[in-house]
Amino acid sequence: MKLILNFWRKLTTPSKAAVGTILAMGFLGGIIFWGAFNMGMEATNTEEFCSACHAPIVKELKETIHYSNRSGVRAICSDCHVPHKWTDKIVRKVQASNEIVAFLMGTISTQEKFEARRKHLAVREWQRMKENDSQECRNCHNFEYMDFSEQGPRSKKQHSTALASGEKTCVDCHKGIAHKLPDMSDVPGW
Amino acid sequence: MKKIIGVLLTAGALLSASVIATEATHIENVNSGGVESMRGITELDDTRKADELKRVIKDRGPIDRDYVYQPPLVPHQTRGYEVSLNANKCLSCHSWKYAGEMGATKISVTHYQSREGQVLADVSPSRYFCLQCHVTQVDAKPLIENDFKRVDSLR
């Protein structure tokens, strides 16, 4: 009890140190905290970090155009699955704390467990993309700069109508472009 | 003198041994006998450098058929089109449900029948793997002149 009281007194009474020292300490602490925070954010955005749990899906990506293509531009997990805008990123990262529980419980720790949960995970991600108008696709694939004359007849038709009017968003048609698909029997368009 | 003879003998023995050895390896070589295949002259035990991959036709209209019951050819790319237990990408355009809307060729009625000819509600499992019969095309020149005539020539 005495200990707590003493600590409280320390907090409430003005310090004998110079204001400059206090400020400098606060400033330094801030830099260290902010740096560490951003480093943590970056570290949890790497492919290595993702594949610690989602290894099978990282393997699947390697066969697709988003990993291997003629020009060598590629996307990593976080390019599509973590928002780029800072505030949205923080929101997603906080939601992701739930995924630590899944990791500890070993929800997708084997290929079989992962296959059983594939539909659930895919549907949740499609829903997220639909709600933010496929923002993570659009970070690279900008509608404004699409040259319809370079597209195939079907792409041109769909992009200049349904996509242009906002009736549909990227993920409505482009499912399974970077991973294998779950059971599609009840998905519209399949 | 004896020494010189000895040296000459050993040298001769070594030389003949090496000749035999080279002949033996020569026999082991498999010779094509100068016969040239359409892929060029390659000794049978050599691995030839692979040809360059041909480019798949990106997208064009339907390709005419050459004989009755020929499975139509695929005139577009199919990279990344999943055909598995979970999904069939081909059917998302070519099934009866979507063909009209997508402007794609509708799959044949025979694909909705069992082997015994019984009509089914959906594509028969025996017809599910499209690329077994319908193949994507590359822009390749025939290796030799071909005098195959279309079925029309029989009319």
pLDDT value, residue B27: 46
The string of pLDDT tens digits covering residues A107-141 is: 998 999 999 999 999 999 999 999 999 999 999 99
pLDDT value, residue B43: 76
Instruction: Find the length of chain B.
Output: 155
The string of pLDDT tens digits covering residues B96-129 is: 999 998 889 999 999 999 999 999 999 999 999 9
pLDDT value, residue A105: 92
Whether residue B72 has pLDDT greater than 80: yes
Q: How many Å apart are CA B80 and CA A16, to the nearest integer?
A: 69
3-state secondary structure of A157: helix
pLDDT value, residue A19: 84
CB of A7 within 8 Å of any CB in chain B? no
Q: How many Å apart are CA B66 and CA A74, to the nearest integer?
A: 41
Buried b (16+ CB within 10 A) or exposed e, B25-38: eeeeeeeeeeeeee
pLDDT value, residue B102: 87
Cβ-defined contact of B86 to A177 (cutoff 8 Å): no
pTM of the predicted model as reported, rounded to 2 decimal places: 0.76
Best of A173, A181, A186 to disrupt the B interface (most B CBs within 10 Å) is A181
- Parse chain B into domains and list their residue ranges: 1-50, 52-155
Residues of chain A with Cβ-Cβ distance to B98 below 8 Å are: 189
Residues of chain A with Cβ-Cβ distance to B103 below 8 Å are: 153-154, 157
Whether residue B37 has pLDDT greater than 80: no
The string of pLDDT tens digits covering residues A147-188 is: 999 998 889 999 999 999 999 999 999 999 999 999 999 998
DSSP assignment of B88-113: BTTHHHHSTTTHHHHT-PPPPGGGGB
Superfamily designation of domain B52-155: Flavocytochrome C3; Chain A (1.10.1130.10)
pLDDT value, residue B24: 46
